[in-house]
């Protein structure tokens, strides 16, 4: 059952998140093993140095673990190590691209909620994108004040990635 005793609500998650977490753990462990091996090779091993290296590996793990993205009817959430942020996609007031090393989509709703998403997560998860897009379409008609061009650009990017994946799977690439 969904909230208020209504029908169950549909929820989609980033299907690649668990693989990304496993990759982050492997990288952190490999880093720790490398540091300990260099210490052992140099004859400088000690418990204090091993603890420092373990701390550095832990910092690397924290940096590499991606946020977990989930979406449902009218909402999207981003859960990181420091908490969860939720935005009502059916009440968006702004959609912006945050340019930089890795482009981010910034969503803000009428209630002050704000999340940053990697557009590659939406492109890799069509069901997640569908739920976000449904909310964006409602917002476009009601509350969205800026970002209609960005939402179209994001939709084109996701649709292009989905088409390429279909061609790849079907052998037409």
pLDDT in tens, 18-66: 999 999 999 999 999 999 999 999 998 899 999 999 999 999 999 999 9
Distance CA 81, CA 134 (A): 28
pLDDT digits (tens, 9 = 90+) for 94-121: 988 877 677 788 999 999 999 998 888 9
Rounded to 10 deg, the angle between the 17-42 and 47-64 helix axes is 160
The reported pTM is 0.77
Q: Scanning the structure block, which residue is given the tokens 């996609």?
A: 89
Q: Over pLDDT 70: what percentage of the chain?
A: 94
């Amino acid at each position: 059952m969904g909230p208020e005793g209504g029908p169950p609500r549909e929820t989609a998650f980033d299907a690649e998140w668990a693989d990304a977490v496993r990759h982050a753990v492997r990288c952190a462990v490999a880093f720790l093993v490398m540091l300990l091996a260099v210490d052992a090779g140099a004859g400088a091993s000690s418990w204090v140095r091993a603890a420092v290296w373990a701390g550095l590996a832990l910092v690397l793990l924290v940096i590499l673990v991606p946020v977990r993205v989930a979406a449902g009817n009218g909402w999207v959430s981003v859960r990181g190590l420091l908490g969860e942020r939720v935005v009502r996609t059916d009440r968006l007031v702004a959609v912006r691209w945050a340019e930089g090393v890795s482009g981010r989509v910034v969503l803000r709703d009428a209630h002050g909620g704000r999340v940053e998403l990697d557009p590659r997560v939406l492109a890799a998860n069509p069901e997640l994108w569908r739920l976000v897009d449904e909310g964006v379409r409602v917002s476009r008609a009601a509350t969205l004040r800026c970002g209609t061009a960005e939402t179209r650009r994001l939709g084109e990017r996701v649709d292009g990635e989905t088409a390429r994946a279909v061609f790849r799977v079907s052998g037409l690439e």
